[in-house]
A and B are shown apart, each in its own frame.
Chain A
Amino acid sequence: MEEKEPRLRRVLITEAAMEVIDTLRKRYPDGLMFHQSGGCCDGSSPMCFEKGDFKIGSSDVWLEEIYGCDFFMSADQFEYWKHTQLTLDVTPGRGSSFSVEIPLGVRFLIRSRVFTMEELERLPPVKTGDTFSAV
């Protein structure tokens, strides 16, 4: 049976962010992953790592695959974020973490939109991180 509407996505990506990922893939051909950070300094920013460099565990949730990259967040942080749709964007900047795009002089950034009540009801479930711990 055909779905009435396309699947609602928890994470979107901008063209500019896709271009950065394309550039990074040349250096990291085995793939990339994202983990949304919290806390101070470079916190509240998405971190991009070589796939498998950051160990995902049962305390994480998988939100989405964006442009071929899995996007994760801590489960407790997700509790406070789940009513918002995220868009992975990029801005010129330095960052200060181990996120792999930093040497390019750009920093990934999350923009957010609050889901409508109707959207909240048809959001797909997230997966727990232990499904991915072997990644």
Chain B
Amino acid sequence: MSTQTLSQTAPVERPEIKARYDHFIGGKFVAPAGGEYFDNISPIDGKPFSQAARGNKEDIDRALDAAHEAFKTWSKTSPTERSRVLNKIADIMEANLEMLARVETIDNGKALRETRAADLPLCIDHFRYFASVIRADESTISEHDEHTVSIALKEPLGVVGQIIPWNFPLLMATWKIAPALAAGCTTVVKPAEQTPTSIMVLMELIADVLPPGVINVVTGFGPEAGKPLANSPRVAKVSFTGETTTGRLIMQYASENLVPVTMELGGKSPNIFMKSIADEDDAFFDKCIEGAVMFALNQGEVCTCPSRILVHEDIYDKFMERVVERTKAIKMGHPLAEDTMMGAQASNDQYEKILSYLDIGRQEGAEVLCGGGPMNLNSGLETGYYIQPTIFKGHNKMRIFQEEIFGPVTSVTTFKTVEEAIEIANDTMYGLGAGLWSRDAHELYTVPRAIKAGRVWVNNYHAYPAHAPFGGYKKSGFGRENHLMMLDHYRATKNMLISYSKDKLGFF
């Protein structure tokens, strides 16, 4: 395969990143108990750029000790103070946005334009959102009769374990940390082994504003550090984003400890384009084309990647010609270059897995409309993990329509009727995201209601604002992040049932 020569702006300068990072426990950076570190490889060039501590059960136990100690005071800290701390974290992230965006790009491989415009701004807003909602949060009270009052107070669960994925390392950590801290919990966080660095750079920045032990971060491998966190009887709740087998395993551990869990386990999101979108060739039609190409956002490494395009058969040619053209215009290149639109896949195993799906798609008889292979870039990127944005045409029973490839790959099929579109959309094990594009006022309401998914974007896609609940139906998990309702996933209700009567019941 030929190698593409880069013609683009020079990459921005790399910020200073330490040669290695320890765990962050009890407000300090602590060397790993086993004394070992592992290389963190940047997907940009497949080369190590820092090292992370190789955590084990002993490190997790130390972090749990620190979190339990901190919980004694943090759980009683006023919402005013918790809110101030969360706002302070947001302010520090905002002041360091450019540096953090660059570190995130080096750690994960995604294009700088995304970390600058999406990952970091969303983190900042998310901390501010949870800082604000706890100031307006109220418990409830009910009068059962003239002498009996029931107070339902919300109390933090305790020390929580949070296992973070690698696709949005800082943002997914924020989605979990912000509501937990807002609710009064303390946390032990285990970042993904592919992306253990950016969160440690953030911890360096915010260490002084956090009471020691409120956030603890232990890096390491899943079986060595993730497992002892997930199965610890000293954890009051486990929050996990990942895949189904590990989700089941974590629930299995939680069942042994009888603790609650929240799970976000991915999807195979349908993006439905109704006939009416092509009634005009206008700004909205153009928006729909962009909506279909959204599969390439974050190199497709998004749980809600619109990886199934369902398009009405009458508009297929007109619509898909433009979608393919727009996809081919995606500029790939050095993730740290400002004009790069799509960067590198997060790791070598991810890269290999995506290529294995490109192979199975062809074997199953799917037609490659564009892309279909690795992207061979030069100028120092030869050893990075780049894949061409790819569109397959096929049918919904193919494995490429049913499995989360987690790469820049989408598969298109057609439908004849609204009923058929809904049937195809729901023919999946998952139910996380979906998209519906239409000019028809009735469809705009009825179709999203018929789709079994937790988030249906209507005439838009891939927006993740705080205050819009996000979570799965079916095998995509449960719990609703991004919204104040997440607070109750980190709290228990204390009911005080009070009698103001002086009279006995008369039973005994």
With a cutoff of 8 Å between Cβ atoms, the chain A residues found around residue B246 in the complex are 37, 42, 47, 97-98
With a cutoff of 8 Å between Cβ atoms, the chain B residues found around residue A99 in the complex are 222-223
A to B CB contacts below 8 Å, 14 in the list: A37-B243, A40-B302, A41-B166, A41-B192, A43-B265, A44-B404, A53-B249, A93-B348, A93-B349, A94-B347, A97-B222, A97-B242, A109-B353, A110-B356
Q: Please give 14 more A-B residue pairs, beta carbons under 8 A apart, in addition to A39-B303, A94-B348.
A: A35-B245, A38-B244, A38-B245, A38-B266, A38-B430, A44-B243, A45-B349, A76-B475, A77-B429, A80-B429, A91-B352, A94-B347, A96-B192, A98-B227
List residues of chain B with CB under 8 Å of any chain A CB. 41, 54, 165-167, 192-194, 221-224, 226-227, 230, 241-249, 252, 264-267, 302-303, 347-350, 352-353, 356-357, 359-360, 363-364, 397, 399, 402-406, 429-430, 475-476
> Are the C-beta atoms of A96 and B165 separated by less than 8 Å?
yes
The tally of CB-CB contacts under 8 A between chains A and B is 164
> Are the C-beta atoms of B223 and A103 separated by less than 8 Å?
yes
Q: A38-B475, A40-B266, A80-B403 are in contact. Are A96 and B194 (CB under 8 A)?
A: yes
A77 to B267, CA, bound (A): 13
Select one of B41, B192, B249 contacting A54, CB under 8 A: B249
The segment from A10-18, A63-71, A111-119, A120-128 found at the interface with B is: A111-119
> Are the C-beta atoms of B356 and A111 separated by less than 8 Å?
yes
Q: Which residue of A lies closest to B248 (CB)?
A: A54
> Are the C-beta atoms of B242 and A84 separated by less than 8 Å?
no
Q: Number of A residues whose C-beta is below 8 Å from B?
A: 41
> Are the C-beta atoms of A93 and B222 separated by less than 8 Å?
no
With a cutoff of 8 Å between Cβ atoms, the chain B residues found around residue A110 in the complex are 356
Select one of B226, B243, B363, B476 contacting A41, CB under 8 A: B243
With a cutoff of 8 Å between Cβ atoms, the chain A residues found around residue B166 in the complex are 41, 96
Q: Which residue of A lies closest to B352 (CB)?
A: A91
Select one of A35, A40, A92 contacting B404, CB under 8 A: A40
> Are the C-beta atoms of B364 and A114 separated by less than 8 Å?
yes
Q: A38-B243, A80-B397 are in contact. Are A94 and B403 (CB under 8 A)?
A: no
B430 to chain A, nearest CB (A): 7
